[in-house]
């Protein structure tokens, strides 16, 4: 079954402020954030205002903020490209799904994929990094599917709600993304719809493989 | 000033600007001298002089290392805790990489241990190290640091991509109270 989406990425605007602040204030959403949980609502708001600030056209920005938007759903989340080094041609990428109902949907994978294409094909970057909570399996799986490698494992690194959490550091090089694109589909010349279908097919095949593996294992245990 | 084996350590001051400047221009790549974007900087002596005059940069963070003759032979940087955890950063630079194998360097490890784990009660310290910094890497391993991973091709310098390895040293004191 083909999955379709009308979602797209656009630069975050000042008008997105209230939407992004509302996401950030949601405690469920905050659980996945990397920043200091003691920040006040005012401080969060100020940070977002600075993120949405306009950059002068001829300067090379240190960060870019993209909204995952859709005509039918409205703004659903945000992808931030931060710590852009134009000398090393690298950046770090974070993504957040503010609309709970859309979490774990294919739309996230597609948006991240499109953002990575933007990083490598438009910004001409060489490397994209991401630090992700180890428990946030859905997020780091998306990165791995795009070809990223887990490079760093920081054990018991972040303390939240009485628990120490591990952090994974991922790195994706341009050549690895190119290889992943070739492996999972012929995306370069394909339409977005075709790409989505290919991704869905790849996910289903992986699920089927996992299911048959666990069936085989339980069969072996029964014997 | 604290007396170490074969030398001294003290907080860095503006007069150390020239000695610090030399580290940026001697042809050795050092992770400790990269900025937050992992970019190399080429500061002027004046800029370093001004930076070393700022108390928040130097006091309790950046230390000059002198040999027994009083010459500055390197610097040690112990940066503060991260916001949501209690991890410190450790950096050590010598003008001559051979210094990493001396008793002076070993006594700096003891100094770091006391300040990070006993005084500041950090959970662990991290040390960034470029793969080309072989002497520093050997020093870290000799003093119990363990690699937590290598970020590939993060820096383009001297005509090639450079990998950055992060080392970690856990505090046994923290584990006792965890």
The answer for B 39-58 residues in CB contact with A (under 8 A) is: 39-40
What pLDDT, on the 0 to 100 scale, is given for residue B2? 92
Higher pLDDT, A36 or B52: B52
Determine contact, residues B72/B65, Cβ cutoff 8 Å: yes
A124 contact B CB<8A: no
Is the pLDDT at A190 greater than 50, yes or no? no
Q: For A151, which of B40, B152, B156 is closest by C-beta distance?
A: B152
Q: Chain B contacts of A89, Cβ < 8 Å?
A: 156
**Confidence tier at A27 by pLDDT (50, 70, 90):** confident
Global pTM? 0.83
Q: Which of helix, strand or coil describes residue A98?
A: coil
* pLDDT computed for residue B80 by the predictor: 72
Residue A1 confidence class, pLDDT cut points 50, 70, 90: very low
Residue A185: what pLDDT?
A: 63
In sequence order, what DSSP letters do the residues of A52-92 get, joined into one string? Answer: T----TTS--S-EEEEEE-TTT---EEEEEEEEETTTTEEE
Question: How far is Cα A58 from Cα A218, in angstroms, rounded to an integer?
Answer: 61
Quick check: B148 pLDDT over 60?
Answer: yes
Residue A221 has pLDDT above 50, yes or no: no
pLDDT score for A54: 63
What are A31-67's pLDDT values in tens digits? 777 666 677 778 878 878 877 766 666 577 888 999 9
Position with higher pLDDT, A50 vs B94: B94
Q: Which domains occur in chain A, in start order?
A: 8-203 (3.40.630.30)
Instruction: Decide if pLDDT at A84 tops 90.
Output: yes
Q: What is the mean pLDDT of residues B10-34?
A: 96
State the nearest Cα–Cα gap between A154 and chain B, in angstroms.
7
pLDDT at A192: 56
Higher-pLDDT residue of A202, A170? A170
Best residue in B34, B38, B170, B171 for a mutation probing chain A (most A CBs within 10 Å): B38
The least confident of A161-165, A213-217, B17-21 is A213-217
Return the pLDDT at A197.
Answer: 62
pLDDT of residue A199: 63
The residue ranges of DSSP E strands in chain A, in sequence order, are 8-11, 64-69, 77-85, 90-97, 127-133, 149-160, 163-173
Mean pLDDT (whole number) for B2-17:
94
Cα(A60)–Cα(A57) distance, integer angstroms: 8
User: Which residue in chain A is spatially nearest to B165 when comparing CA positions?
Assistant: A152
User: Which chain A residues have a beta carbon less than 8 Å from that of B147?
Assistant: none
Shortest distance, CA B96 to any CA of chain A (angstroms) = 27
Write down all domains in chain B, each with its CATH number in brackets: 2-177 (3.40.630.30)
CB contact under 8 A, A173 and B152: yes
Residue B141: count of CB within 10 angstroms of its CB: 13
Of B39, B84, B151, the CB nearest to A158: B84
Q: What is the pLDDT of residue B161?
A: 97
Confidence of residue A189 (pLDDT cuts 50, 70, 90): very low
Name the more confident of B64 and A184: B64
Tell me if B84 and A90 make a contact (CB, 8 A cut-off).
no
């Amino acid at each position: 079954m083909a999955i379709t989406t009308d979602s797209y990425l656009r630069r975050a605007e000042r008008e997105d402020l209230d939407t992004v602040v509302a996401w950030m204030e949601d405690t469920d959403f905050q659980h996945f954030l990397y920043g200091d949980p003691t920040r006040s609502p005012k401080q969060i708001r100020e940070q977002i205002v600075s993120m949405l600030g306009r950059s002068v056209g001829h300067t090379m920005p240190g960060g870019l903020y993209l909204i995952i938007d859709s005509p039918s759903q409205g703004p659903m989340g945000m992808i931030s490209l931060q710590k852009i080094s134009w000398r090393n041609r690298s950046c770090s990428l974070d993504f957040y799904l503010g609309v709970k109902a859309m979490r774990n949907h294919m739309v996230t994978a597609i948006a991240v994929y499109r953002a990575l294409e933007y990083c490598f094909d438009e910004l001409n970057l060489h490397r994209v990094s991401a630090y992700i909570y180890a428990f946030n399996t859905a997020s780091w799986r998306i990165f791995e599917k795009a070809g990223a490698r887990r490079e760093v494992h920081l054990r018991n690194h972040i303390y939240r709600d009485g628990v120490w959490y591990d952090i994974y550091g991922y790195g994706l090089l341009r050549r690895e993304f190119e290889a992943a694109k070739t492996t999972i589909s012929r995306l370069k010349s394909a339409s977005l719809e075709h790409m989505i279908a290919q991704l869905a097919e790849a996910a289903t095949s992986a699920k089927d493989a996992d299911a048959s593996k666990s069936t085989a294992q339980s069969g072996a245990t029964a014997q | 000033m604290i007396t170490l084996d074969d030398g001294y350590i003290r907080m860095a001051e503006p007069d150390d600007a020239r000695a610090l400047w030399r580290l940026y221009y001697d042809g050795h790549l050092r992770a400790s001298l990269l900025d937050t974007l992992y970019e190399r900087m080429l500061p002027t002596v004046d800029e370093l002089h001004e930076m070393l005059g700022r108390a928040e940069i130097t006091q309790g963070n950046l230390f000059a290392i002198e040999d027994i003759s009083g010459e500055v032979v390197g610097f040690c940087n112990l940066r503060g805790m991260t916001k949501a955890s209690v991890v410190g950063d450790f950096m050590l630079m010598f003008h001559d990489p051979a210094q990493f194998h001396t008793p002076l360097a070993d006594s700096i490890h003891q100094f770091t241990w006391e300040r990070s784990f006993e005084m500041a009660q950090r959970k662990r310290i991290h040390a960034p190290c470029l793969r080309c910094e072989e002497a520093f890497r050997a020093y870290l391993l000799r003093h119990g640091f363990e690699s937590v991973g290598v970020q590939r091709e993060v820096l383009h310098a001297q005509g090639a991509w450079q990998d950055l390895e992060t080392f970690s040293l856990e505090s046994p004191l923290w584990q006792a109270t965890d």
